[in-house]
Amino acid sequence: MFVDAIERIDLFTRPLHSIVRLYGHNEVVPGSATLFFVNDQGCAITCKHVAELVAKADSIYHNYRDFQGARRDVIREKDAAQRISKLEVKFKLQSETIIRVRNSFVGCVDQYKELSIDMHPTQDLALVQFKGYNRLLYGSHATFLGDSSRIKPGRSLCRLGYPFPEFTNFRYNASVDDIEWTAEGRVTSPRFPIDGIVTRLLSESNDITGIEMSTPGLRGQSGGPLFDTNGLIYGMQSATRHLHLGFDIEDREVLVNGRKSRVSNYPFLNVGQCVHVDVIKAFLRERGVTYHEG
């Protein structure tokens, strides 16, 4: 049903690859998200929660570097362990705290001198503008739905994104105690579509701001487009909601592999939440960004 639409959407939908290092660990944690371009001027949109991590990358690393400098000053003191513990509190470092993030915008532009990020004040939406590039690496651009009254419960729509970070072109470099991108390894992640039907329109303060889908959006699909069979954009994947169904089972005896066992189960329905197309278009208009309707 969505075969041709996916091919059209793929031309301007791109992955954001990220590698993360946590405090106290040398392992590299890969992650991915999605963005899509709204015109041929290097302007794309993604989720605010994705853009925030991109925007904070430098400050996160600077905080860790400042901690490293302070730790070097006390490492030879007799009470070094106690002092380092105080420094960890000062710099807000705990186990699993992110200390380094590196991002790679795959297949977007050949290079850029500046990355401008503008976040929506209330919705999970952000505008990303690449500046100082020589050549665009994406083809085409999004065409947004002109008549949003067509968004009704029961309509089949699809989302496209990059939920599975299968790239391997990274490493931990012990000589500089940092994580980095490499020229070796796999540089791509597979695109992944997931379809469903509109279940409800979501509102805030009497304004429709979101679209609920019958199927969940996967984590790395955040920022990916929601579209119909013609490739028209209806919204953007933002989050997954977990609706408690109430069919709870507590301490019930069942047979598991031929043996009696007592189990409990609290089922939830996982549904997708998307930013509504009208919210996206209004935000682009306010920021003076060119976009296209169909």
**Per-residue model confidence as pLDDT tens digits over 130-181:** 999 999 999 999 999 999 999 999 999 999 999 999 999 999 999 999 999 9
Closest CA to 291 of 13, 38, 18, 59: 38
Q: Which two tokens stand for residue 175?
A: 């000589």
**Per-residue model confidence as pLDDT tens digits over 220-237:** 999 999 999 999 999 999
Q: Which residues pair with 213 in a beta bridge?
A: 198, 272
Query: Domain 3-293 adopts which CATH fold?
Result: Thrombin, subunit H (2.40.10)
**Per-residue model confidence as pLDDT tens digits over 62-79:** 999 999 999 999 988 889
Reduced to 3 states, what is the DSSP secondary structure of residue 11?
coil
Give me the residue spans of the domains in the chain: 3-293
Give first-to-last CA distance, the chain, whole Å.
20
| Non-local CB neighbours of 21 within 8 Å, separated by 6+ positions | 27, 28, 29, 98, 99, 100, 172, 178, 179
For the entire predicted model, the pTM comes to: 0.91
